[in-house]
Amino acid sequence: EYDMSQNQERLIMDTQDMNGLLDATKKDLEEHQKQLNERIDSLKELDFDESVNLDLKPNLLNKVSMSNDTFLELKKRAEVAERMQRALRISDQRVQALEKDNRKKDSQLGEMFTLRMENSSLKRQVEFFKQVIDKMRELFLKQKDKEGQPKVSEKLVSQIIGFSKHYVGQGLKMNKEAEPQNEHEKTGRDVAIKALAAERKEKGYGSEMER
């Protein structure tokens, strides 16, 4: 639970950083777009020193002429526009990568929240069954006969509980069973071990064919 809490805090901070970076990237993108539009507008306003012959005849390009300075300026602005477009593509890819990373972190945060809820629920269930066993132990020990003597001894109650813990745990194939709380529960567990071995033998488990 501590590790989950630390990871959640770290993911929240990372997400906040990414959101800030995303906003900055969007502002850069808008600025790039603005500059590109200005470049495009300035290209449209270029004036040729000589008029263009629009007569649609062969070798049309040979009839289009402009001053050397105008040509160099046009070439320079075209190169700048190309660099700006390349920067825009890179910025767009960066934004998409950041958005994808944010979606992944949001998913991780959602999974961590679900795990914390499940962990909390499991803790309550464990505590519930623990209290049920303690209450049953208490009620068994309160049962008296006509002479006021306990109907069931504390030793027997503990043995029954130890037996039940191991028997049920094996049936559910639990990797980690509830540990016996005292020597009498250990005795009950040992009885359960023998009982389960006898049941397996009776069903044929452990035979040569089974192996």
pLDDT tens digits, 22-33: 777 777 777 877
Asked if 119 and 52 sit in the same domain, the reply is yes
Neighbour count for residue 161 (Cβ, 10 Å): 23
pLDDT at position 43 is 65
Find the mean pLDDT for residues 147-168: 89
pLDDT at position 186 is 92
* Residue 59 reports pLDDT greater than 60: no
Count the domains in the chain.
Answer: 2
Structure tokens at 161: 């509980």
Q: Which of 8-17, 58-67, 117-126, 176-185 has the lowest mean pLDDT?
A: 58-67
* Residue 192 reports pLDDT greater than 60: yes
Strand pairing partners for 150? 144
Which residue, 60, 89, 123, sits at the end of a domain? 123
Asked if 45 and 92 sit in the same domain, the reply is yes
Asked if 115 and 150 sit in the same domain, the reply is no
Asked if 17 and 105 sit in the same domain, the reply is yes
Asked if 116 and 30 sit in the same domain, the reply is yes
Percent of the chain with pLDDT over 90: 7
How many residues comprise the chain? 211
The C-alpha atoms of residue 95 and residue 82 are separated, in whole angstroms, by 20
- What number of CA atoms fall less than 13 Å from residue 88's CA on the CB side? 14
Find the mean pLDDT for residues 166-175: 84
112 versus 69: the higher-pLDDT residue is 112
Asked if 29 and 97 sit in the same domain, the reply is yes
Q: Domain range spanning residue 25? A: 2-123
**């049936």: which residue's tokens?**
171
Asked if 117 and 141 sit in the same domain, the reply is no
Asked if 14 and 113 sit in the same domain, the reply is yes
- pTM (2 d.p.): 0.43
Asked if 118 and 140 sit in the same domain, the reply is no
pLDDT at position 87 is 80
Strand pairing partners for 144? 150
* Residue 40 reports pLDDT greater than 80: no
Asked if 26 and 82 sit in the same domain, the reply is yes
pLDDT at position 16 is 74
Asked if 56 and 30 sit in the same domain, the reply is yes
Asked if 107 and 155 sit in the same domain, the reply is no
Contact 161, 135 (CB under 8 A): no
Query: Within a domain: residue 131?
Result: no
* Residue 169 reports pLDDT greater than 60: yes
pLDDT at position 52 is 44
pLDDT at position 66 is 56
